[in-house]
A = this chain, B = another copy of it.
Amino acid sequence: MNTLPTDLTTLAEAVIKRAASFGFTIATAESCTGGLISSCLTSVPGASETFQCGFVTYSNEAKTRLLGVPVDAITDFGAVSDIVASAMAEGAVAHSGADLAVSVTGIAGPGGGSTDKPVGLVYLSLAQTGEDAVIKRYVFAGNRDDVRRSAVGAALELMHSGLEERRQSAEEENGS
């Protein structure tokens, strides 16, 4: 049996292949998924050509220290918020030198949920040099493991589509 689920490693392989074929480098910034996205990406042989690094910023202090997420953003909007998700992704690009980074912050449970922010709430963000960050909001069903797994799948999908969009933008710029 493989250490990681094959549906996720297959998706990760598609991301690595696309990044490599376009010549883009990538990075990750993970809170609730705790390194699962980078684990999937690095399960692919040759990932080192494109995957630079991952930041597993689990504590709020780590989000600020490693990624430069403003303390005020965490205090005012909470660690699980669109603002913090985009600051994490932008911080990952800035602190890694990669072309593109995905971030995840969410409430995997079983504790930590509230009426406004239920267990399963996850924000993803995709940031890249020279572009505004994209933010996605989800509420995933299931237990802690289900939420984390769903978030990893969605993050890899976001990275996969983001890479194609970046290539198209680059082509348009070169063609104009």
Q: Which residue numbers of A lie inside 8 Å of B, CB to CB? A: 1-5, 8, 28, 30, 32-39, 41-43, 45-48, 51-59, 61-62, 65-66, 95-97, 109-111, 144-145, 148-149, 152
Q: B3, A36: Cβ atoms under 8 Å?
A: yes
Residues of B within 8 A of A38 (CB): 34-35, 56, 58
Residues of B within 8 A of A96 (CB): 62, 65
- How many angstroms between the C-alpha atoms of A144 and B148 in the bound complex? 24
Residues of B within 8 A of A37 (CB): 35
Q: B145, A2: Cβ atoms under 8 Å?
A: yes
Residues of B within 8 A of A57 (CB): 53
Lowest 10 CB-CB distances: which A-B pairs, in order? A34-B42, A35-B35, A54-B56, A53-B62, A35-B38, A35-B39, A38-B56, A36-B39, A3-B149, A52-B59
